Amino acid sequence: MRGRICDERIGPFYICGKDFFYWVVMSLIQLKRVNKTFSRRDSQTVQALIDVDLEVEKGEIFGIVGRSGAGKSTLLRLVNGLEIPTSGEVVVNGQVISSLGERELRAARTKIGMIFQHFNLLWSRTVRENVSFPLEVAGRPKQEIRRKVDDLLERVGLADRAEAYPAQLSGGQKQRVGIARALANDPRVLLCDEATSALDPETTSSILELLKEINRDTGISLLLITHEMSVVQSICRRVAVMDEGRIVESGDVGSVFHQPSHPLTRQFVRQLRVEGVGGEDSLSPERSIVIRCDFSRWDQVWKILSDVVGNSRVTVRILDGELEENGRISFQIGGDPGDVNHLLNRIREYVELVEGKALVS
């Protein structure tokens, strides 16, 4: 029997002499029963992470959401070796990060890129010099650096701003520099620490689009932490919800949003608003419609919403109190009438219109 690779996260393992393949999902990041306790100056201790188990597969985009203080940043800092677990193991690219010596850790870190909420650029260096920096540190030859930086700037859409200084760039452009710099050493994973939280909604969706493109083209894994469910919805395949140091729920984004089991997840899902340019006002009753969908069809609808909404002037809100146990989900769509109609046409076969027929052609 022959098999085909149908997903690049999955690698085939052929067992000699046997006529079959084993299909194995390859983890790029694994946290195994990780605990992290900090001691404060007042000799109190804080349990920032409690028994955290997590796996991020090769090539996937994984989101971690949680309120402030939930432990998200600590988790990210453990993945890139800036913190060491109090107990448990953090494995990245097959290496136990916490057991590496200084030199090995430095080498391992070159394969872990990171982008930040406030970009962390070098302000006295040009765009080109910022992106060159990790390559210089890695001791790459000058010509190679020039070629590589040109490619990276082209990829993030900043080829014409190479000689500008960060202060001359918009927020979105600064984050593009951050992304190019993070990709300089061809990392296998990109850690995103609230990477779009300082950006307006339109810029956020263009940065998320760029990250998706990079993930698609290079197969790099993305682990992102955010407090914005709309970010998770538009980019992630799987999500983990954190509360007080623990992962309280995790799974495919569609299933977690569709049937949230933990009260905090329900709260997050209720707050979910996928915002386009229309923003809050676009959900005024006279400009929006309410739609119902059977849970059994929700996966299809969800896929279309995630696909369309990031690129259009539409806001979608899952309505309070309608999520559970009645077998149906209600949501409200508002925004630019043309875009709303376009979305409606795509989901029409799966949904039932409840209120607001004015917008339907």
Ligand X SMILES: Nc1ncnc2c1ncn2[C@@H]1O[C@H](COP(=O)(O)OP(=O)(O)OP(=O)(O)O)[C@@H](O)[C@H]1O
Minimum distance of ligand X from residue 10's CB (angstroms)? 31
- By beta-carbon proximity to ligand X, the closer residue of 48 and 79 is 48
Please tell me the distance from the alpha carbon of residue 38 to that of residue 44, in angstroms, as a whole number: 9
- By beta-carbon proximity to ligand X, the closer residue of 70 and 235 is 70
The CA–CA distances, whole Å, from 266 to 257, 258, 260, 269 equal: 8, 10, 5, 5
Minimum distance of ligand X from residue 78's CB (angstroms)? 10
Residues near ligand X (CB under 6 A)? 38, 40, 46, 48, 66, 68-74
Minimum distance of ligand X from residue 48's CB (angstroms)? 3
Minimum distance of ligand X from residue 152's CB (angstroms)? 28
- By beta-carbon proximity to ligand X, the closer residue of 70 and 91 is 70
Specify whether the CB–CB gap between 81 and 74 falls below 8 A: no
- By beta-carbon proximity to ligand X, the closer residue of 36 and 181 is 36
Minimum distance of ligand X from residue 70's CB (angstroms)? 4
Minimum distance of ligand X from residue 71's CB (angstroms)? 4
Please tell me the distance from the alpha carbon of residue 347 to that of residue 344, in angstroms, as a whole number: 5
- By beta-carbon proximity to ligand X, the closer residue of 69 and 337 is 69
- By beta-carbon proximity to ligand X, the closer residue of 59 and 245 is 245
